[in-house]
Amino acid sequence: MPYSFYAVLNVLPQIAATAFLPIVGIALVSYLIKSTRPQGPQKPIGID
């Protein structure tokens, strides 16, 4: 019983990391794309 409990405690961070890292990466990429992309057609394209 204690062994399985500690095994679950050791595996949970790995599962959380593998599930959380892609979400963080996608959110970061989409945020960077939105911040660098012009907000609307009224904004000049030449000005970043």
- Mean pLDDT per 10-residue run, the chain (48 residues)? 81 90 93 78 58
Predicted pLDDT of residue 37: 72
- Asked whether the beta carbons of 48 and 36 are under 8 A apart, the reply is yes
9 within some domain: yes
Q: Which two tokens stand for residue 40?
A: 């609307």
Q: Which two tokens stand for residue 32?
A: 């960077």
47 within some domain: no
Region of 40 (left: φ > 0; alpha: ψ -120 to 50; beta: rest) is beta
16 within some domain: yes
Predicted pLDDT of residue 34: 87
Predicted pLDDT of residue 29: 94
35 within some domain: no
45 within some domain: no
31 within some domain: no
Report residue 42: phi and psi, to 5°.
Answer: -75, -15
Predicted pLDDT of residue 35: 85
Count how many domains the chain has.
Answer: 1
Predicted pLDDT of residue 28: 93
